[in-house]
Chains A and B, each alone.
Chain A
Amino acid sequence: MNINYLRHYFQLLEVFTLREIKSRYKASLLGPLWIVLYPLFTAVILNFIFGKFIRIKTEGIPYFVFVLSGLIIWNFFQQGVDLAKNSLVWNRELITKTAFSTSVLPFSYVLSKIPDFLVYLILLLVSYNFNNYRANFSYFSIVIIILPLILLTSGVALISSLTNAVFRDFGKIVDFAFMIIFYATPIIYPESLIPAKFKFMLYLNPLALLIAFIRNLLFRSDFRLHLYLLSFPMSLFIFLLGIILFKNFNKKVADLI
């Protein structure tokens, strides 16, 4: 671990992240506009189903902006992991024919979702203002939620990309896990709907903590820093688990993939 190695690592990270962002929309007609359309469509659909038909009670918060405040966290996590889980498989040729630190691959796919996150944030704050709330520029400080979110997402991305490279079954397991996590996390419903005896689960779920942090801040003007800080230990734990796993199996990836 010397300076040269680190510098090369960060250059790789930058180049791969840009490569992913650039190539993602190259062959599409609407190009980067998809970054805006995707969250918009998702929120509109969920708004219809859960806001208009099933009518989930959100304590008076307009459902559209309510669900957007959950999706901003969920989509970064879900899309980041979903892309990154295949990062080693997709780049098989690169791994088996060139020498570089393979761990930049899952990382770069996660980081390539940062522009999407920022668009989400703008979309959230704009629709927040449309719904008779008053947001000013200080609200952009919500952007700090991306720190634990990157740690968590990268950790899960490292673990799932490695396991998926060895046994493709793990890719399928990740899809099931997404479904469970999506419904177990208060994204489309408020945490007040969770029975008291299951409330403890929220504290084990960094995604739920971050969503609770945003919602308290936006809809109750309640700055609960402890929710934000509590999301760190678990995220960090999963991140380190991913790093350790990668460090141990790094040398075997090229043979096993």
Chain B
Amino acid sequence: MSQPAIVINNITKKYYLEKPRTLKKWFHTIISPFEKFTVFKNFSLSVNKGEFILITGSNGSGKTTLLKLIAGITFPDEGSIKTYGRIVPLIELGAGFNYELTGEENIVTNATILGIQKSKIKEIIPKIVSFSGLKDFIDVPLKRYSTGMVTRLAFSIAVYSNPNILLIDEIFAVGDHEFRKKSIKRILDFKKKSITIVLTSNFRIAKYIFDREIKLINSFQTS
């Protein structure tokens, strides 16, 4: 069980803070482009295969940034991040959906982004449709869906994307009670299959679900 899944080594991450760009400020930007906000400084974390990590912390403490760094959406300024296996990030459910296209067409796009092969996508489409419970709506453009239906579809794609590492950002705040129960059950199934899960949340999560809690503290320093 001590196989590593995610190894974060001494990373520093700064974000640009955009300032109003007057001409005077613009000349200033030639010397130092934008003011930066330090999110992580010499941060290290190592997650083992099959571990369920809960990340807590106040708004702006870097929970989402940490997931984005692990997923390779954004990159650290210093230090290194190594991951083992396929990562499926659920930063925002339905990110990148095209609302003019139908549910099924969006499944194909979304699954491709998650790195699933074409032949495999054909195979999992019926499963995704049945898990989401959107059989009657699958050929309807997404703009006719309710917010909850979009969420269901997105989560169902992730469920069948066969990840090694699953990154989930605050997504349990949405979906109806029944579907939420169904998704939590799924996530526990993932845990049994020793899939590594990193979940961020501000809500109370029952202790028995996760293995380790990491609390992020950030003092909003700019440099």
Q: Do A and B come from one complex?
A: yes
Q: Interface on A for B, CB 8 Å cutoff?
A: 7-8, 11-12, 15-16, 19, 22-23, 26-27, 91, 93-100, 251-252, 254-256
Closest chain A residue to B65 by CB distance? A255
Task: Report B117-169 residues with CB < 8 Å from chain A CB.
Answer: 117-118, 141
Question: In the assembled complex, which residues on chain B have CB atoms less than 8 Å from the CB atom of A254?
Answer: 68, 73-74
Smallest distance from the beta carbon of B168 to chain A beta carbons, Å?
13
Tally of A-B residue pairs with Cβ under 8 A?
66
CA distance A100 to B108 in the complex (A): 15
* B74 A94 Cβ-Cβ under 8 A: no
* A26 B141 Cβ-Cβ under 8 A: yes
Quick one: which of B15, B87, B89, B98 has the most chain A CB within 10 A?
Answer: B98
Question: In the assembled complex, which residues on chain B have CB atoms less than 8 Å from the CB atom of A96?
Answer: 68, 73-74
B216 part of interface (Cβ distance < 8 Å): no
Task: Report B35-77 residues with CB < 8 Å from chain A CB.
Answer: 68, 71-75
Quick one: which of A252, A255, A256 has the most chain B CB within 10 A?
Answer: A255
Can you report 26 residue pairs joining A to B where beta carbons are below 8 Å apart?
A11-B118, A12-B113, A19-B98, A19-B105, A23-B101, A26-B100, A26-B101, A26-B141, A27-B100, A91-B96, A93-B96, A94-B113, A95-B73, A96-B73, A96-B74, A97-B73, A97-B89, A97-B95, A98-B71, A98-B91, A98-B96, A99-B72, A252-B75, A254-B68, A254-B73, A254-B74
Known: A12-B113, A23-B100, A254-B68. 12 other contacts (CB 8 A): A11-B112, A23-B101, A26-B101, A95-B73, A96-B74, A98-B96, A98-B114, A99-B71, A99-B72, A100-B113, A251-B75, A256-B16
B85 part of interface (Cβ distance < 8 Å): no
Interface size of B by CB at 8 A reads 27
Question: In the assembled complex, which residues on chain B have CB atoms less than 8 Å from the CB atom of A255?
Answer: 15-16, 74
* B101 A99 Cβ-Cβ under 8 A: no
Question: In the assembled complex, which residues on chain A have CB atoms less than 8 Å from the CB atom of B141?
Answer: 26
Task: Report B94-117 residues with CB < 8 Å from chain A CB.
Answer: 95-96, 98, 100-101, 105, 108-109, 112-115, 117
* A19 B101 Cβ-Cβ under 8 A: yes
CA distance A140 to B163 in the complex (A): 47
Question: In the assembled complex, which residues on chain B have CB atoms less than 8 Å from the CB atom of A26?
Answer: 100-101, 141
CA distance A92 to B92 in the complex (A): 13
CA distance A100 to B74 in the complex (A): 11
* A93 B92 Cβ-Cβ under 8 A: yes
Question: In the assembled complex, which residues on chain A have CB atoms less than 8 Å from the CB atom of B72?
Answer: 99
* B95 A94 Cβ-Cβ under 8 A: yes
CA distance A98 to B161 in the complex (A): 14
**Known contacts being A15-B108, A100-B113, is A23 close to B95, with CB within 8 Å?**
no
Quick one: which of A95, A97, A100, A254 has the most chain B CB within 10 A?
Answer: A97
Q: In the complex, which of the residues B75, B96, B114 contacts A94, with contact meaning CB atoms closer than 8 Å? A: B96
* A98 B109 Cβ-Cβ under 8 A: no
Question: In the assembled complex, which residues on chain B have CB atoms less than 8 Å from the CB atom of A256?
Answer: 16
